[in-house]
Chain A
Amino acid sequence: MFKDLDPILHSQLRLAVMSLLISVKEAEFTFLKEKTNATAGNLSVQIQKLKEVGYIDVIKQFKDNYPQTICKITPIGIRAFEEYVKNLQAYLTQK
C-alpha cells in the first residue's frame, strides 16, 4: 500500500523551491526566483504556503538599505522532503 504523495510538495514550484533549499544552508529570494524562473508574486505565494506548514523559515531583513528575504529549510521540511522522495521512489519501483 502506497502513501499519498504530500500535496504541499507535489506541486511544481513548491517542489522546485524545496529541492533548491535542501541542497544549501540558506538562499535569498532572488536566488530562488532566478533558478526557478518564476515570477516574484507567484514565488512569494508558494513560499508563504511552505512557511505556513513549517517546511521553511523565512527571514526578512535589510541589506545595504534594501529589503532582503532569506529562506531556509526547517527540520520538518527536511523530513517531509525525504518522505516525499521515498514515496516517489516506491511508486516508480512498483511501476
Chain B
Amino acid sequence: MEQEKKLTEQESLHLITMMINKAKESYHDTGIGAIMWGAVIAICSLVRLSEVHFEYKLPFDIYLLTLVAIIPQIFISIKEKKERKVKSYDDPYLDYIWLGFGICIFLLIYISNNIFGEWGSWANEYKNLTGKSASFRFSEYVAPLFLMLYGLPTFITGAACKFKPMLWGGIFCWICCIVAIYTTVKIDLLLTAASAILAWLVPGIIMEKEYRMYKKEQA
C-alpha cells in the first residue's frame, strides 16, 4: 500500500469499508476452550446418566472433572491472550461474563447441595411420620437451573461475536431448560449432554476449523 497516494472520495469510502471488514474478520477464537468444556460437561452428564440407569456408583463424583478442567482452561486462556495481535472492545466484557458464569455455577452447586441436604432430612422425617415417600424430588429441578445458566453466556457470546452456532446453542439450552422441568432425572441428564454438545462442542469445532483456515491463509 502506498502511503501518499491521493484518493478519490469513492476510493476513500471503499478503503474504510474494506479495512473495517478486515478488522472484524480478524477476530478468531481458537475454539479449544469451547471444545474442552463441551466435551467435559457432556461426558460428566452421560457418565452420571449411566450411573443412574445401570445403578452403579463410581468411587468418585464424575463432576469433579469440571474442577480438573479449570487447570487446562487457565493455560488455554493465557496462550490465546499471548497470541492475539488485536484486542476488540468486546474482549474484556466477554471475559467477565464467562468468569461470572463460572462463579454462578459453583454458587448454584453450593446452594443446591445445601438445599438438597436439608430437604433430604425433611423427606425422611415425612416418610417416618406418614409411611409415604414425598412426591417432590429436589434433584429433578436442579438441571433446568443449570441449563438456564448455560444458555446466558453462550447466547451473549454468540450475539456479540456474530457467531450463529453459539447463539442458537444458547437458545437450545433455554429450550432444554423448559423441557427439563417436566422430565425425569435421566432425560434431564441427556438434555444437559445435548446442550453441552450443541452449545459448546459443535460451535467450538466450527471455530477451531475457521481458526485453522485463517492461520493457513496467513501463512
Contact = CB atoms under 8 A, between A and B. Distances in A.
Interface of A: 5, 10-16, 19-20, 22-28, 30-31, 34-38, 42, 45-46, 63-64, 85, 88-89, 91-92, 95
A15 B12 contact: yes
Interface residues on B, range: 20 to 34
Interface in B69-109: 82, 85-89, 91
Given A12-B7, A23-B24, A31-B86, 12 more contacts: A11-B4, A12-B4, A13-B1, A24-B86, A24-B87, A25-B89, A27-B23, A27-B87, A28-B86, A34-B85, A34-B218, A91-B9
Contacts of A5: 9, 12
B210 to A, nearest CB: 17
A7 B196 CA distance: 53
A88 B9 contact: yes
Contact of B19 (A28, A35, A92): A35
A92 B9 contact: yes
A13 B87 contact: no
5 smallest beta-carbon distances between A and B, as pairs:
A19-B19, A23-B23, A31-B85, A13-B3, A28-B85
B12 A88 contact: yes
Contacts of A45: 3
Nearest to B10: A92
B22 interface: yes
A10 B8 CA distance: 9
16 contacts: A10-B6, A10-B7, A11-B4, A11-B7, A12-B3, A20-B19, A20-B22, A24-B87, A25-B88, A25-B91, A27-B87, A31-B26, A36-B19, A64-B82, A88-B12, A88-B13
Contacts of A26: 86-87
Interface string B1-39: 111111101101101101110111010000000000000
A50 B36 CA distance: 43
B12 A10 contact: yes
B4 to A, nearest CB: 6
Contacts of A16: 1, 15, 19
